[in-house]
Structure 1
Amino acid sequence: MAADHDDRWRAAMLRAMAGPERRFLSFDGRDGGRAVEVFGDLPAAEKIAVLVPGSDTSFDKYGLLRGGALRLQQVLGERSAVVAWLGYRTPTLVSLSALTPGRADEAAPALRAFVRELGAAKPAVRISLLCHSYGSVVCGRAAPGLDVDRLILTGSPGLTVEHAAGLRTRAAVWAGRASGDWVARVPRALLAGLGFGADPVSPGFGARLFAAGDGGHSDYLKAGSLPLENIARIISGQDPLEARRAA
């Protein structure tokens, strides 16, 4: 269908996704695309990370999500799996929908259901949610009562709560933001109904902080980077590296 509409880029992405080596738990090519893809050995995994992407993520830009998931799983190593969860209609970056929790409210029930199904299938495995940018808003809306061990926030504009305790989760909440990430300049409250509240890396929010380097908004899972190493350590139950020690 994409080829018939002369959308060659989308057609190429879809053909790549149809490769025999790819493993999808769900797939829907309509309306920008929805997919849940597994990287690593899910049946044998002893640690699982569910990666929830942010704004402007669709099949047209799926390579960015896939690349990050692949790199994270490689650092985590054997007996690990990363699940790239593109299970919602992400907002476009420059839009009112990117400044309100509406899309996150739509997405939260599906994320909650998926994590519960994953937990039921792998009851002895610790699950971490890795939430980037607007994906952290989705995770914040899904968090209450969700049985995960760690909630890791990168490049987050906020979670619509003023303190980590407001998430009502037993998970350890971690947050990191790179010094070059533009999300630091996003206003916390613009007008009534816009913005996402407290900054997750502010001392008053109550999250555990990890060093995230000096990269940009899309660099948290960059190969060889400090944030990638620290995220993998947190998922593995280890303390993150200090910035000076890593250097």
Structure 2
Amino acid sequence: MPMPSRARRSAGWGRLRRGLLAALVAGAVVVPVSAAAAHPEIPAPAPARVGTVTATTLDRAYAANRANAAEASLMAADHGDHDRASAVRAMADPSRHYLSFDARGSGRAVEILGDLAEADRVAVLVPGSDTSLDTYERFREGALALHQRLGTRAAVVAWLGYETPGTISPEVLTMGRAEEAAPELRSFIAELRALNAHARISLLCHSYGTAVGARAANGLDIADLVFFGSPGTGVESAADLRTKARVWAGRGADDWIANVPHAETDLFGLFGTSVGFGTDPVSPAFGAQVFAAGDGGHSDYFSPGSESLDNLARIVLGRTSEVTRA
């Protein structure tokens, strides 16, 4: 019996989508390493030496890291990279607060929004691919939106504490960057707990950042571990994370990440490459608490007024009975 026209269109779109995904993955695998080398390193100072940061030395650390950003901006301008100079100059504004800052390479920054030492609730945001000092402001916009939604008794940490993979790169297909980042994230959470022993800490991980959060989860002193826009976490179930935190997952209805294969799959034998990060975190098989994330796309989870932002805020504030479920 001929397939109904709507079913034919649906099946055709599914094949096209899978074909496009395969082409995207294949392109990522064969990108020559020379492409990355085409952009020379931008000179930057070594990070400021701030030592162990305590509640009483926070302001001193903030000032030292802003000064480092200002110096990095001048060095980038002298080198002729005006885009990097402009991006880092904005980060040196007197209103900005960094626990750490490093403008070398793609860059790292850990920015604080709110009163970290006195906050009752702290949300730590872990970004996904293509987040660097050059694209940092879009990451910060989400942190700002969350902080505004949480109120003054909460603090938000924009944690760009690792070298994120490019969206079109071999690294984004593997757990390698997540393995490298996990010890840094564990160390940071321990430092954060030393700074503020009474706060409830929630770890909010987006996209590839969910793999980072999953790798760091075992033993972390956090109340909530939240995955959204996730391609998978590298484990088959929430139980495999070995965390005492409540595990949450959400995905917007228009998020393209839903089309990424979750089960590890050999890509047509291409260079022996396998893709996939394990069980879909929003699937019943994973075992997370699934929250409603609205109709948004991959970059819309912190959009003001969105269902996803409201639910993320409720999780951080501990108002779990008010979280709407998918």
Instruction: Write the distance in 2 (CA, Å) between the matches of 1:141 and 1:69.
Output: 22
Partner of 1:94: 168
Residue segments in structure 2 that go unaligned for 5+ positions in a row: 1-74, 267-272
Structure 1: state its 5+ residue gaps.
Answer: none
3-state secondary structure, aligned to 2:203: strand
- One-letter code of the match for 1:148? I
Which of structures 1 and 2 has the bigger CA Rg?
2
Moved more, 22-31 or 119-128: 119-128
Aligned to 1:111, the other structure's residue is in SS state helix
Q: Distance in 2 between matches of 1:100 and 1:241?
A: 32
Matched ranges for 1:209-228 at <5 A: 209-228=290-309
RMSD (Å) for aligned C-alpha atoms: 1.3
Match of 2:318 among 222, 237, 244: 237
1:130 matched to 2:201: no
- Residue identity over aligned pairs, in percent, reads 59
Per-residue CA deviation, residues 110-153 of structure 1 (Å, 9 max, x unaligned), is: 00000011112211111000000000000000001111100011
CA distance in 1, matches of 2:124, 2:154: 11
Normalising to structure 1: TM-score of the pair? 0.96
Which structure has the highest helix share of the two? Answer: 2
The CA deviation at 1:71 is 0.7
* 1:149 maps to which of 223, 227, 230: 223
SS at match of 1:45: coil
Q: 1:176 aligns with which of 237, 246, 250?
A: 250
Given that residues 226 and 243 in structure 1 are in contact (C-alpha distance below 8 angstroms), is that contact kept between their aligned partners in structure 2?
Answer: no
Post-superposition CA distance 1:168-202 (Å, at most 9, x none): 00000000000100100001123365321100000
- Secondary structure of the residue that 1:84 maps to in structure 2? strand
Count of matched residue positions in the alignment of Structure 1 and Structure 2? 244
Give the distance between the partners of 1:208 and 1:148, measured in 2 at CA: 16
CA distance change for structure 1 residues 230 and 57 in 2, over 3 Å: closer, same or farther?
Answer: same
Match of 2:153 in 1: 79
Query: Which residue number in structure 2 is paired with residue 119 of structure 1?
Result: 193
Mapped pair 1:63 → 2:137: yes
